[in-house]
Chain A
Amino acid sequence: MSDKKPISSVNDFVVRFANVNGSGSASANEMFARAILRHGVPVSPRNIFPSNIQGLPTWYEVRVTEDGHLGARGGVDMMVAMNPQTWDKDVAGIEPGGYLFYDSTKPMPSTKFRDDITVIGVPLTAITNSTYTDPRQRQLFKNIIYLGALSALLDMDPKLIEQLIGEQYKGKEKLLSSNVHALHLGRDWALQNLKCPTGLRVKKSDKVGDRIFIEGNSAAALGAVYGGATVCAWYPITPSSSVAEAFTAHCKKYRHDPETGKAKYAIVQGEDELASIGIVIGASWNGARAFTATSGPGISLMTEFIGLSYFAEIPAVIMNIQRAGPSTGMPTRTQQCDIIACAYASHGDTKHVLLFPEDPAEAFEFAAAAFDLAERLQTTIFLMLDLDIGMNHRLCRPLKWDDARQYDRGKIMTAEMLDEGRDFGRYLDVDGDGIPYRTYPGTHPTKGSYFTRGTSRDRYARYSEEGSVYADNMQRLMRKFESAQDMVPRPLQANAERPTKYGVIYFGSTSPAMDEAIGLLDVRGHQLDRLRIRAFPFHSSVASFLAEHDFVYVVEQNRDSQLRQLIVNENGIDPVRLVPIVHYDGSPITARFIAKAIGDHQDHLKVTPLRKAVS
């Protein structure tokens, strides 16, 4: 019945599962993604889910990509349509020549299908109902049955899925065998009744290597464990809650005294974000490494304390797992929309350090580094993730740790130093880097105490409203921020094969889509040098990059091109030369989008000579 030739592709396609939230599909879908990884074929899965616990539509998209393109691709080659609510939209979203997999237990009118796709019906409900009587079992095993059917349709090795089931239900023999049984129910039905495989096939390869498959939030939380965080205070908010939950799980595993069973950490679920950051600041003031994890609305609530951290110079680490704003916005959709809100958080003149990891591996590294930076700089460090990195499994290089590494606790004046007669001025710039010494409370019976306050004070922490004293302090804070430039992760530059006057700046979760877009642009004849910014304040190489190119595209996932604003503002450059490329519908940015936006702009730039146009 197809008008269009069915898509034929090995190890390069997108399967999307349309499910109902709360139906237990998530673990089956994740197993599908993992099974493909076990074939040695990279995948990039994404959860597209509503702000809801049960009943609303949810999707899980798996990009199968032998070439290792881990950004979202856009388009769907096979739709596993398990949700009648979204059927029409789901069917409409299939690429011409694509495949529709559905539960054919109830007959559907032909108007519900399309002529240019291959329709694959499997009577999932009939199979489950004839095998299971318990309603919950019916629901859960239905998911495994479709996984089995897909394994046949996509030519997957069932042994690899069985292996995964074996690992998941290790020690739970009954669950293990019943899941394997369900898998084969679906697989056998498909093999006997359908043309297997389809044009979409998974073929064993060796492109995964030693990479790991992990969510950014879990990696960031582990970075906090490795980085020595002992106090975590948080308030539940999507998409950041799983940072604190993962930190709890990691600490249970790694941070209990083997003899006493006591905890070498303290985790408090605050009553709100204000309390969470307050606890972090209190703990950091007292010399512990502390952090909170939150998202946009939480940042808004924390801003008063962030100003205190800046002005009273108290370390703090805030992990911001960004979601689409403003206000409640789209709580379960991704964006990079808090750049300005975090860079200049709080009233008065403030500036804060931001770190932009591109994937879970960097989230781990930067999280650990954030604690060193916070204590070295005695200020708030933002770890800027987003939902796309934070809540999706991402294939990334294995996490690494150097056992020789010690924590940089920053400039701490000890009792010994005080006894030696060292001059202690809490806000005294002794080294010219703008960073003063601090003492921990309880250090010395008679020396080194001071009164911490958000009001202005002199170099010796004495209250003062003298204009010159205030300005002196503000200038030192500026010097300190300048010192931060050389401490934070530097931008990474990758130049085009041929010299070009065009460049592109990007950051964070845009990375995989950007890397892939470079290839697509190359096909269109556009060469671009790339600069991936990894932190704010910007390193001097950002200014050099801008100077070396006529036009620089700034690719980001927000409406107002916030990073571009920050670059323009901080570097004082002509904004015309910085071209915003913005994607902000809440879905992760794709290579196709970037390549089209930049390609079109590049085409416009190719001015046709006037004489030629007239003749």
Chain B
Amino acid sequence: MTYIAKPKFHHPGLKKNELGYTHRDYEGKISTLCAGCGHDSITASIIEACYELSIEPHRVAKISGIGCSSKTPDYFLGNSHGFNSVHGRMPSVLTGANLANRDLIYLGVSGDGDSASIGFGQFAHSIRRGVNMTYIVENNGVYGLTKGQFSATADRGSKSKKGVTNTDNAIDLVAIALQLGATFVARSFSGDKTQLVPLIAAAIRHKGASFIDVISPCIAFNNHAGSTKSFDYVREHNDAVNRLDVLVGRDPIAVDYAPGTVQMVEQHDGSRIALRKIDADYDPHDRLGAQTFLARHAAKGQIVTGLLYVDPDADDLHEHLNTVETPLNTLEADTLCPGSAALDKFNASLR
């Protein structure tokens, strides 16, 4: 729905990353979402994270379902292939794409309707299988494109714009992801890019199922008093356990961290996450501890954000299936077809 063409020129002095790409190379079409939409901030964060990681844009496959959030892949990484698939079915499409070519980076973008309602099953099963992906839910607690119905992540007791009180219990996708064995679990807020950008970068570098729940207020239908997904509410109740910096390659640690305040996590690919602790007792390697911590804080109405759990040595679906290193989509008849001699033998065994 982009009617305005985005100008291609940019300032010659625009900063370049290691690959020589500027920010602009990671951008997409002009967003058609409402002005001030939280989702656009997430889009900007994805662009920033990919720029900082010096990812070749075309090596990313961005896959989404249906809804406001699922439109956003059109607004970043314009030189990547994107797939705006079927409502609630991003996880299966992404799983299949990942099986076909293990060499690309898979970015799944979904919303709360897409992942917690119609696609709750697919969300759960893709996490269970350990698909190597970064799964981002842009969570606003409401159906935006159909004008303001509650979604399954809307908190019980929260009020809709029309004044209706939600009586259903909310699904906490982070809690579910932890239970299902996601090996990178985080929550953030679209209004807090300093926390979100490194989380996305760390998730992309993580091997295995990474899940990020980003609370992203809907400016049009869920940003009023009584909503628990409004900018004001989330700012007031945001309880960040940590903030992080992602260090790739041989980067020296640029920041001087006060002793005892930082936990270094080295991921499978050699990248490091410097976790700046806010809650001194929070241990992001303790899955069970994370679950209890979340439940305790949720009961108090607090929204826990940060890197909640990470298993730096996780494996993925390809390892479970023991697939060859070569992407399956590059194999041809010479390696795939057993040939006529094998067939003659097979025939002989059936007489």
Contacts and interface: CB of A to CB of B under 8 A. Distances in A.
Interface in A424-482: 439-446, 449-455, 463
Contacts of B182: none
B336 A263 contact: no
Contacts of B89: 274-275, 278, 305
Interface in A191-227: 208, 210-214, 222, 225-226
What 3 A-B pairs are tightest by C-beta distance, nearest first?
A: A282-B96, A278-B92, A288-B100
B283 interface: no
Contacts of A281: 85, 93, 96
Interface of B: 1-2, 56-59, 61, 63, 73-74, 78-86, 89, 91-101, 103-104, 121-122, 124-125, 129, 317-318, 321-325, 328-333, 335-340, 342-344, 346-347, 350-351
A284 interface: yes
B96 A212 contact: no
Contacts of B338: 225-226, 254-255
B31 to A, nearest CB: 13
A388 B69 CA distance: 47
Contacts of B323: 262-266
Contacts of A439: 81
B83 A452 contact: yes
23 contacts: A37-B351, A208-B351, A212-B347, A212-B350, A228-B337, A230-B99, A230-B329, A257-B324, A262-B322, A262-B325, A264-B323, A268-B317, A272-B121, A275-B121, A278-B96, A398-B347, A401-B339, A401-B343, A407-B333, A442-B103, A451-B82, A452-B83, A463-B74
B286 to A, nearest CB: 28
A390 to B, nearest CB: 16
Interface in A401-419: 401-403, 405-407
B324 A442 contact: no
Given A275-B91, A440-B81, A453-B83, 9 more contacts: A208-B351, A230-B328, A230-B331, A266-B99, A268-B95, A282-B93, A442-B59, A451-B73, A452-B83
B341 to A, nearest CB: 8
Interface in A354-410: 398-403, 405-407
A233 interface: yes
A440 B59 CA distance: 11
Nearest to A455: B84
Contacts of B342: 254
A304 B86 contact: yes
Residue in A214, A257, A265, A266 whose Cβ sees the most chain B Cβ within 10 Å: A266
Nearest to B28: A451
A515 B342 CA distance: 32
A406 B332 CA distance: 8
Contacts of B322: 261-263
Contacts of A401: 337, 339-340, 343
A563 B83 CA distance: 35
Given A255-B336, A261-B322, A264-B335, A286 B97 contact: yes
A453 B84 contact: yes
A304 B336 CA distance: 31
B135 to A, nearest CB: 14
A286 B104 CA distance: 10
A441 B95 CA distance: 14
Chain B interface helix/strand/loop/mixed: helix
A267 B329 contact: no
A441 B61 contact: yes
A278 B57 CA distance: 24
A278 B119 CA distance: 12
B351 A212 contact: yes
A407 B58 contact: no
Nearest to B126: A275
Contacts of A275: 89, 91-92, 95, 121-122, 125
Contact of B1 (A260, A274, A287, A463): A463
B121 A442 contact: no
A44 to B, nearest CB: 15
Interface string A240-284: 000000000000001101001111111110111011111111111
A278 B329 contact: no
A452 B101 contact: no
Contacts of A337: none
A228 B97 contact: no
Contacts of A277: 92
A403 B347 contact: no
A251 to B, nearest CB: 10
Contact of B122 (A213, A274, A280, A399): A274
A226 B97 CA distance: 22
A327 to B, nearest CB: 21
Contacts of B1: 463
Nearest to A409: B332
A212 B347 CA distance: 6
Contacts of A267: 321
Contacts of B78: 449
Given A264-B336, A403-B339, A452 B95 contact: no
Residue in A226, A230, A267, A444 whose Cβ sees the most chain B Cβ within 10 Å: A230
A190 interface: no
Contacts of A274: 89, 92, 122
B337 A266 contact: no
A285 interface: yes
Contacts of A272: 121
A231 interface: yes
A246 to B, nearest CB: 12
Residue in B57, B92, B122 whose Cβ sees the most chain A Cβ within 10 Å: B92
Interface in A274-313: 274-288, 290, 304-305, 308
A427 B344 CA distance: 42
A226 B100 contact: no
A214 B348 CA distance: 11
Contacts of B324: 257, 260, 262-264
A315 to B, nearest CB: 11
Contact of B100 (A211, A282, A454): A282
A442 B82 contact: no
A274 B338 CA distance: 31
A449 B339 contact: no
Interface in A8-64: 37
Given A212-B347, A283-B96, A400-B340, A445 B86 contact: no
B84 to A, nearest CB: 4
A322 B310 CA distance: 46
A228 to B, nearest CB: 4
B181 to A, nearest CB: 15
A285 B92 contact: no
Contacts of A278: 85-86, 89, 91-93, 95-96, 122
Given A282-B94, A286-B329, A213 B343 contact: no
A445 B82 contact: no
A401 B122 CA distance: 38
